[in-house]
Amino acid sequence: MRIKQLLASMIIGSSAILTTTGAMAADMTGAGATFPYPIYAKWAEMYKKTTGNGLNYQSVGSGAGIKQIKAKTVDFGASDMPLKAEELAADGLVQFPAIMGGVVLVVNMPGLTPGQMKLTGPVVADIYLGKITKWNDPQIAALNPGVKLSDDEITVVHRADGSGTSFLFTDYLSKTSADFKAKIGAGTAVKWVLGVGGKGNEGVAANVQRIKGAIGYVEWAFAKKNKMAHAQLKNRDGVFVQPDDETFKAAAANADWAKTPGFGVVLTDQAGKAAWPITGASYILMHKTQADGVKGKEVLKFFEWAYKNGTATAAELDYVPMPANVIKLVEAGWKADLKDAAGKPIW
């Protein structure tokens, strides 16, 4: 009994067993992005109560999630960096968006309140390139008149694992700084020129909280949950905006999901006065041919349920649910693309 209780409540690092042991043999397994972990965890809890079916989702980073689904060790992978059509085809995968949200900059500076500091893409890029090394640097001071800036050295914190959050962050900086694009570039794992690494959003948040003068990038829900001082960002239209579900929605307003292969829309640095500049969707990856069609169908039933019943919870956690027209396209894709071993549609 003790072993069963332990398994039912186990949390190892950033991996959580979101299930009870009684139905473990039938539970779905997924792994990948830490960005959507808070909402997936909540959805799994709600779904378990509603249907009795559990989800074992390991929040191990997008890079690891992509590797695990390609190796067929999980029922689905999760990535905040959409895979290109060529890669999906080569590995026999389908991809669809599950949720949208935002990445924010968080700062550890005495007396700084959440949303008080203002930053721009080029300034953040220079911080991560080591060109700006102190918080009272003239470039930061010019953006923040009236804000008491410390003389602390800036400690850069970044992800140490393959990360879709890193992809969104570096893609944004590559679009706003030619120097950053040339020296570091965009990707789930890049060669940083300086800084302290943290595993997962949890690890980055913990390092920023621990180190005076630190700056890092995390998913918005982690910043809010930990009451961290986030920064405003200047968007493509030249407006300083705060992160919230409305500014995330604004960034996604003009996305052309229907015409983008694999729904692989990248929502960074989008036009719009209200758009948050580091917005992104989180994607689910599954094999087109499902060796276990029953398990594959259960994964689809979970996300169908989440699309229909998880919107209020998503909003509470500051995520943006997928629009109804996108959900319709996604579910049509399930019917067309996902087959069992005998070639019969599973949906």
Residue 12 has pLDDT above 60, yes or no: no
Which is more confident, 304 or 221? 304
**Could you count the other beta carbons within 10 Å of the beta carbon of residue 331?**
16
CB 109 within 8 A of CB 213: yes
Domain assignments of the chain as residue spans, ordered by start: 2-100+280-340, 103-255
pLDDT in tens, 71-122: 999 999 999 999 999 999 999 999 999 999 999 999 999 999 999 999 999 9
Residue 26 has pLDDT above 70, yes or no: no
CB 290 within 8 A of CB 339: yes
Q: How many residues does the chain have?
A: 347
Report the alpha-carbon distance of residue 167 to residue 179 in Å, rounded. 17
CATH topology of domain 103-255: D-Maltodextrin-Binding Protein; domain 2 (3.40.190)
Overall average pLDDT of the 36-47 stretch: 95
Those residues whose C-beta lies under 8 Å from the C-beta of residue 156, and which sit 6 or more positions away, are 127, 128, 130, 192, 194, 195, 196, 214, 215, 216
Residue 2 has pLDDT above 50, yes or no: no
What is the chain's alpha carbon radius of gyration, rounded to the nearest angstrom? 20
**What is the band of 338 on the pLDDT scale with cuts at 50, 70, 90?**
very high
Q: What is the DSSP letter of 272?
A: S
Which CATH code is given to the segment(s) 2-100+280-340?
Answer: 3.40.190.10
Whole-number average pLDDT of the chain: 91
Which is more confident, 262 or 6? 262
Report the alpha-carbon distance of residue 344 to residue 37 in Å, rounded. 32
Please provide residue 306's backbone torsions phi and psi, each rounded to the nearest 5 degrees.
-65, -40
Which is more confident, 218 or 221? 218
Overall average pLDDT of the 27-55 stretch: 95
Report the alpha-carbon distance of residue 238 to residue 250 in Å, rounded. 15
Q: What is the pTM of this model?
A: 0.86
Residue 208 has pLDDT above 90, yes or no: yes
Domains 2-100+280-340 and 103-255 share a fold: yes
Q: What is the DSSP string of 119-185?
A: E-HHHHHHHHTTS--BTT-HHHHHH-TT-----PBPEEEEESS--HHHHHHHHHHHHH-HHHHHHT-
Q: Which two tokens stand for residue 74?
A: 């999980």
Overall average pLDDT of the 312-316 stretch: 93
Which is more confident, 233 or 15? 233
Report the alpha-carbon distance of residue 163 to residue 31 in Å, rounded. 12
